[in-house]
Amino acid sequence: MVGATDRPIKAYSLSLVQKVVRLRAMESALDYHTARALLEWQIELGATDAIGDAPVDRYALPDTAPKAKKPAKAQSATKKPKQVDPVGVAKSAAQAAGTLDQLQAAMDAFDHCELKRGARQLVFADGTPGARVMIIGEAPGRDEDREGKPFVGRAGQLLDRMLAAIDLNRTENVYITNVLPWRPPQNRDPKPEEIGMLKPFLERHVALAKPEVLVVMGNITCQAVLGKRGITRLRGQWDQAMDLPVIPMFHPAYLLRQPQMKRQAWADLLELKARLEGKA
Ligand code: URA
């Protein structure tokens, strides 16, 4: 039934449309024209075929629409590399070492110091672990780098003579290491960041070697261990670091260049001897 004001609906769907419109109008108490307008609108949208007998309220159905994918994380090329904290790595590696051998292995495995790449090998220590005296130098030179032991070059030979003068030697009662275990290129001075990075190893080294006193050789070692510079002023004066008494002395390499300073070095050795004999 198409009224005069009605626009014609395509013939192929007309009889069906009329039936449906009437039915829906009866069911929902819509007036005929409103229902027809709604149906026309659906047909215009392309909804021309009845799929099921009963109407479906799709708003009441569970949400089964595929979830929108989260945008992929930034590609690995643009990913920031994870920042490594070398001091943190050194601290944990040092703390995990329960023996001197384990500490040596941990230092050998430490890959965050550039010096390692330019050096032939790790120079860990020499002498008697557990000795009352622990001597700390700066860093290996060419000879130490080659032999893998601290203080074996000319400065080391002078050190041995100095120690012998107060009855100390590596085979019985002295233990020796350096602030840095790798030779700096061209024997340049160690950089503060290198010292800071490797200090956890030095601290652990001292804790595991358990000396009674520390002897720190030269300005750079004073700075690393005591946090102070000015060896000329500091030498021969007992200080405290790493829970131990510390005596700074001129570095033997300096004494080779300035032999007139050996007099003060001798006084400092006597001071050390007196301390060991319980007289200082
Ligand atoms: N100088 C140092 O400080 N350490 C060495 O092992 C050799 C030279």
pLDDT tops 60 at residue 279: yes
Give yes or no for residue 268 CB within 6 A of ligand 1: no
Mean pLDDT of 18-47: 63
The predicted structure's pLDDT at residue 57: 73
Query: Taking the CB of residue 59, how many other CB atoms lie within 10 A of it?
Result: 5
CA nearest 124: which of 103, 97, 142? Answer: 103
State the closest ligand 1 atom to the C-alpha of 217, by its place in the atom list counted from 1: 3
Tokens standing for residue 72? 């992929």
Between the CA of 81 and the centroid of ligand 1 the distance, in Å, is 36
Between the CA of 2 and the centroid of ligand 1 the distance, in Å, is 110
The predicted structure's pLDDT at residue 4: 42
Give yes or no for residue 160 CB within 6 A of ligand 1: no
Bridge partner list, 247: 215
Mean pLDDT of 24-41: 64
The predicted structure's pLDDT at residue 82: 82
CA nearest 95: which of 229, 249, 201, 174? Answer: 201
Domains of the chain, residue spans: 11-50, 86-276
Q: What is the pLDDT of residues 162-204, one digit of tens each?
A: 999 999 999 999 999 999 999 999 999 999 999 999 999 999 9
Between the CA of 91 and the centroid of ligand 1 the distance, in Å, is 24
DSSP state of 227: S
pLDDT tops 90 at residue 72: no
Give yes or no for residue 151 CB within 6 A of ligand 1: yes
Q: Render 3-30 in DSSP notation, one character per residue.
A: -TTSPPPPHHHHHHHHHHHHHHHHHH--
Query: What share of the chain in percent tops pLDDT 90?
Result: 70
Give yes or no for residue 150 CB within 6 A of ligand 1: yes
115 compared with 32, residue with greater pLDDT: 115
pLDDT tops 90 at residue 143: yes
pLDDT tops 90 at residue 249: yes
Query: Taking the CB of residue 243, how many other CB atoms lie within 10 A of it?
Result: 8
Mean pLDDT of 258-273: 98
- Please choose from 146, 151, 159 the residue to mutate so as to test ligand 1's pocket, defined by most ligand atoms within 8 A of CB: 151
Mean pLDDT of the chain: 87
Contact partners, residue 160, CB within 8 Å, separation at least 6: 151, 169, 170
The predicted structure's pLDDT at residue 60: 76
Mean pLDDT of 150-162: 98
Homologous superfamily of the 86-276 domain (CATH): Uracil-DNA glycosylase-like domain (3.40.470.10)
The predicted structure's pLDDT at residue 1: 40
Query: What share of the chain in percent tops pLDDT 70?
Result: 74
- Please choose from 115, 143, 152, 178 the residue to mutate so as to test ligand 1's pocket, defined by most ligand atoms within 8 A of CB: 178
State the closest ligand 1 atom to the C-alpha of 144, by its place in the atom list counted from 1: 6
E strand residue ranges, the chain: 126-127, 133-137, 174-178, 213-217, 239-241, 244-249
